[in-house]
Amino acid sequence: MREQPLPERIEKTAISEIETPALLLDPVVMDRNIDRMRAAVASLGVAFRPHVKTAKSLAVVRRMTGGVPGPITVSTLREAEVFADAGYTDILYAVGVTPNKVARAQRLRGRGVDLKLIVDNADAATAIAAAGDPADPLPVLVEVDSDGHRAGVAPSDAAALLGIAARLRGGATLCGLLTHAGASYGATSHAEIRRYADQERDALLSAAAILREAGHPVETLSVGSTPTALFATDLSGITEVRAGVFVFFDLVMAGIDVCRVEDIALSVLASVIAVQPDRGRFLVDAGWSALSRDRGTARQAVDQGYGLVCDATGRPCPDLIVLEANQEHGVVGLRPGSTNILPKVAVGDLVRILPNHACATAGQHAAYRLIDSVRRTVTGSWPRFGGW
């Protein structure tokens, strides 16, 4: 019997009484972020397929999809199964699929789930077509590399595109193209993000033209990253947008001016466990096992260490960051070169740490503790899941 998500728990406790470390989520901020993204995508006249890998929570994703099961993007088959159990039937598995996962994907399709897969090479296409069921061919999107960031076929590589399409026969069928503007995470201006959005669009339109001219049907053109989804101005010819980290935002997104620090809905509550004023630092009970090892801001103009430190109300302390992260210890101090003064703290005091990468930090925890920032209380708990 498949493991079922835990039910939501309702509680009302002062934040000061929560055992640390704990993952806090402000639902008011989260809902504001969701509204912003949905409005941006709607203004572009395309469908929205939110990515659930950041949230990995039925309660959060219900809000992302407007309260009803809708199209979603997943990064693991575990995500696909959990959301299929909850009534989500239009699912895109947006990681290059391998033959050893085809049988599991087909089981989902056998349950009535319209599960779509992606490939970016002829070998994978051949293997999937051979492993698939000709009576129910697996719909496949070809991944296109629009910015040199990660995986995908070059949009001008006709031989590769046509070679993959030719192999999607029998147990698989070509249904579209997909790209992800991951390089937009390194943008330094809104204008640069918009250029990446145009590049995403143009890459798919170029690749689609090659396939269509050869007689291959290309129905879905799927683009997406949180920065480009929010700053795109023209997605003519594109059918859908994917994005995920927008639901919470994080310091990387704030560092490229996609959001403000106050738009970050997640934080890790931690307790001071030792004060070392002679060394200009104090220790907290949130190390990399609570924060993750992500150092996504290291190459940005402002390096936030392993997280930006706030007081217990969520107000950032000037230049105070997690300098080092051991498994269960976080070392907190002023960023190098700061002229600010280390705040006075005592053992047992609480701080909140904003994440560099919301996906990575959330992945360290089993649940979101919902907070009412005005009343400084925890009002509920939403479970999240992991695994592949």
Q: Which amino acid is at 272?
A: V
pLDDT at 3: 36
pLDDT tens-digit map of 206-261: 999 999 999 999 999 999 999 999 999 999 999 999 999 999 999 999 999 999 99
Tell me what percent of the residues of the chain surpass a pLDDT of 90.
Answer: 94
Evaluated on CA atoms 276, 277, 281, 285, the torsion sign reads positive
Q: Which domains does the chain have, with CATH numbers?
A: 27-250 (3.20.20.10), 265-383 (2.40.37.20)
pLDDT at 5: 42
Distance CA 330, CA 324 (A): 6
Contacts of 359 (CB under 8 A, 6+ apart): 53, 54, 244, 245
Pairing of strands 90-96, 316-325: unpaired
| pLDDT tier at 374, thresholds 50, 70, 90 | confident
> Is pLDDT above 80 for 355?
yes
- CA distance readout (Å), 268 to 26, 159, 252, 323, 326: 11, 49, 16, 15, 15
pTM: 0.94
pLDDT tens-digit map of 102-144: 999 999 999 999 999 999 999 999 999 999 999 999 999 999 9
Residue with tokens 């590589």: 157
Distance CA 236, CA 239 (A): 8
